[in-house]
Structure 1
Amino acid sequence: MDWKTSGGTQGSQNMNNRDNDAVTTVNMFKPSTVATLKVARKNEMGAFLDAQTGNTSNDILLHKTQQTAPVEIGDMVKVFLYKDPKGRLTASMRVPRMKEGQIARLKVINLSEDGAFLDAGAERGIFLPFAGTRGALKLGDYVWAKLYTDKSGRLAVTMKVEDEIRRASKSAIGAAHVGDKIDGSVYNLTDKGAFVFTTERYIAFIPEKEMAEHPHVGAEVTARVTYIREDGRLNASLRPIKEKAIDIDAAMLLKAIAAHDGKIPYDDKTPPEIIKNRFHISKAAFKRAVGHLLKNGIVMEKDGWLILVDDKKD
């Protein structure tokens, strides 16, 4: 009895161990990962890839529509794994176009409460956790992102790419000049300004005061170089040169005055922060625009107000 009981217990333990091994093997492959698997068999639906469990019912379907080239039994195929609408692990030969650690501008194809999904060329979007986002994202945006493997072993992306962009950038010294126009995209936005990676691979900083309107992260911008720094980076502006800016700012103020019954409670003594919050221009730019309107007799100042001059009055 003791021997049978002992043997039965041992046999039961062995079965449990085999079951645990099988479970472990089944869970070896996860969605949002890339794997190289062997084609075990084929049928009219497509190919079945060996999931390495010893149980053909666990094999992973590589549907005909998910094949970018014909496959044969015995082939080793690199695939992207994801879950189909029924929750089954499925394979596609459309793998991410980028490698782990690389950065690229990727399209936002879906948004959720937990983050977003970006198109990296795989069969399904790659998850961008909320903690890895920069700014408010919109569908269709293109943003700089890096591919990495998260703690669970799945592929993910992050918009925290400052170090990677710094390593990929080049110096603008001797190549760019003050007044040059530069094209690029915003990869980070702070309360001090916007950081842009240009098509020439320069890093440009646009101070907050040099932005009439704040671009969103991912926005493509054309800026004007205002300063070349010793470290090879650029300072730039989204505002036109001063002469043109006066006309633009004056027109903006005139529109605001006309929209408020011909007068607004602002003048030379209004604090700079109020001017900035209301009109999104500096106090100096405000004074230049007001001076332009005063000089041309379009407005007048009275008791802390800017008042539109009525030409019909004598």
Structure 2
Amino acid sequence: MINIGKIQKLTVDRKINSGHYLVDQDGDDVLLPDNLGPLNLRIGQEIEVFVYLDTKGLPIATTELPYAQVGEFAVMKVQDVKEFGAFFDWGIDKDLLVPGNEQKVKVRPYEEYLVRVCLEEGTNRVFGTTKFGKYLENQEETGLSMHDQVSIEPVQRTELGHKVIINKKYLGMIYANETFSPVRMGEKYPAYVKKVRPDGLIDVSLKPLGMSGLRETTTLILELLEESGGKTFLNDKSTPEEIKGMLGVSKKAFKKAVGILYKERKIKLTDDGIELIKNK
């Protein structure tokens, strides 16, 4: 079945004057107009396309890929505002309509908003929404578990930290007091799931959790010691700001990692800080 509002791989089946018909494994077809795809297609060639409904309500394919497909979130810019809704730049030739009753706050032209792409059952109408309540409630069924590695994109600064898109499908938070390096809006970062909160948001961390995270911190400490001649003034009396500035980790993580290195006899504690034990 050809899925409306989704990116999918289809096979070139036949050529007509206005374009090529593509088919799926079930034999269902959709037109890829010449102006929405390459001209040098071969019969039998597999091609990745996005399928949506044109102004007549008919399925149409394009090799342009949208910022988000059905079920995904993306930050989009308002192109035009009408009484019935607003049109957003979707990253393809067609703009995405966010109806007025799907706007949490009335949007304004040329401003950017976080939008979820949705599909209306029965009509296959694709639309956007800035109302996320019911989608957050369903995030408990994501199948994501603590420690799972995910891809995040920071999209909004808040008093607590940054709201992020997780794997393009879910919304979550990274907290300011757990962020020890600069975070840029719109960039992709690897992160780790901490928990799904009662309000549906998923807490994530930029650092691995548990022992894997501590091992990463021990490596940072050993590298710092190697680069500074085997000694550093950092110790358990150092301020959180000093530790964050030199290692980019919290004081709590630093103290745990120092404990591990001390038990492994890789460092010794001195009045001036910590010192690397050289193997003879």
**TM-score, normalised by the number of residues in structure 1:** 0.47
Instruction: Compute the displacement of 1:215 (Å).
Output: 3.3
Change (3 A) 1:214 1:173: same
Q: 1:213 deviation in Å?
A: 3.6
Q: Which runs of 5+ in 2 are unaligned?
A: 1-34, 37-54, 56-65, 68-72, 78-88, 94-105, 117-128
Q: Report whether the alignment pairs 1:279 with 2:233.
A: no
Cα distance change, pair 104–227 in 1 and its aligned pair in 2 (3 A): closer
Q: CA deviation at 1:157?
A: 3.4
What aligned pairs does 1:185-196 form with structure 2 within 5 A after superposition? 185-190=153-158, 192-196=160-164
Q: Which residues of structure 1 form unaligned runs of 5+?
A: 1-67, 70-77, 79-96, 108-117, 123-146, 151-155
AA at the equivalent of 1:158: E
Instruction: Pick the aligned partner of 1:235 from 184, 203, 207.
Output: 203
Letter in 2 for 1:238: L
Question: Partners of 1:211 and 1:149 in 2: how far apart?
Answer: 32
Alpha-carbon deviations, 1:84-129, whole Å to 9, x = none? xxxxxxxxxxxxx89xxxx84569xxxxxxxxxx99447xxxxxxx
Shift of 1:252: 0.6
Could you list the per-position Cα deviations for residues 133-189 of structure 1 after superposition, in whole angstroms to 9, with x for gaps in the alignment?
A: xxxxxxxxxxxxxx9654xxxxx2325779926358432124345414443422124
Q: In the alignment, which residue of structure 2 is the partner of 1:48?
A: none
Q: 1:203 aligned to 171, 174, 180, which one?
A: 171
Task: Evaluate the alpha carbon distance shift between residue 157 and residue 307 of structure 1 in structure 2; reply closer, same or farther with a 3 A threshold.
Answer: same
1:218 CA displacement: 1.0
Structure 1 residues 119, 207: CA separation in 2 closer, same or farther (over 3 Å shift)? same
Offset of 1:257 from its aligned partner?
A: 1.4
Q: 2:112 aligns with which of 145, 153, 158?
A: 158
Letter paired with 1:175: T
Q: Deviations over 1:1-44 (max 9, x none)?
A: xxxxxxxxxxxxxxxxxxxxxxxxxxxxxxxxxxxxxxxxxxxx
Q: Partner of 2:192 in structure 1? A: 224
Q: Corresponding residue for 1:90?
A: none
Instruction: Name the % identity.
Output: 23
CA shift digits 1:196-222 (9 cap, x unpaired):
123463211112344454432112234
**Residues 75 and 112, structure 2, Cα contact 8 Å, conserved in 1:** no
Higher relative strand content: 2
The residue that corresponds to 2:223 in the other structure is 255
Q: Structure 2: how far apart are the matches of 1:256 and 1:188?
A: 33
Contact 1:269 1:304 survives alignment (8 Å): no
CA contact (8 A) 1:189 1:216 kept: no
Alignment of 1:106-185 (within 5 A): 120-121=91-92, 150=109, 156-158=110-112, 164=130, 166=132, 169-171=135-137, 172-179=139-146, 180-185=148-153
The alignment yields a C-alpha RMSD, in angstroms, of: 3.9
Shift of the 262–188 alpha-carbon distance from structure 1 to 2, 3 Å rule, reads same
Q: Aligned partners of 2:133, 2:242: CA distance in 1, in Å?
A: 39
Does the CA-based 8 Å contact 2:218-2:261 persist in structure 1?
Answer: yes
Task: Please tell me whether the aligned partners of residues 218 and 258 of structure 2 are also in contact (alpha carbons under 8 angstroms).
Answer: yes
Q: What displacement does 1:304 show?
A: 3.2
